[in-house]
Amino acid sequence: MHKTSFQTEKVATARWLVRSTDGSRKGEVFGRSGHYQAQTMRGRFIGNHTTLHGAAELLFQGGQNANP
């Protein structure tokens, strides 16, 4: 699996903004320990993961997420 470089910024309780290395916003991750949900900036559900990092990586997988 390819590891993607990104930055997370906590914006509220249980909510993180995910940015690519060039600073563009890729999406948001919501959740708590053990259950995180990734979605695009327009609110389209991407997937769930057990870790914050894993959920953030889901935003970078596949071409369908190129234009969040």
pLDDT averages per 10-residue partition of the chain, 68 residues: 81 97 96 96 96 95 52
Q: What is the pLDDT of residue 62?
A: 56
Q: What is the pLDDT of residue 47?
A: 96
Closest CA to 8 of 42, 53, 38: 53
User: What does pTM read for this prediction?
Assistant: 0.82
Q: What is the pLDDT of residue 49?
A: 97
Three-state DSSP class for residue 11:
strand
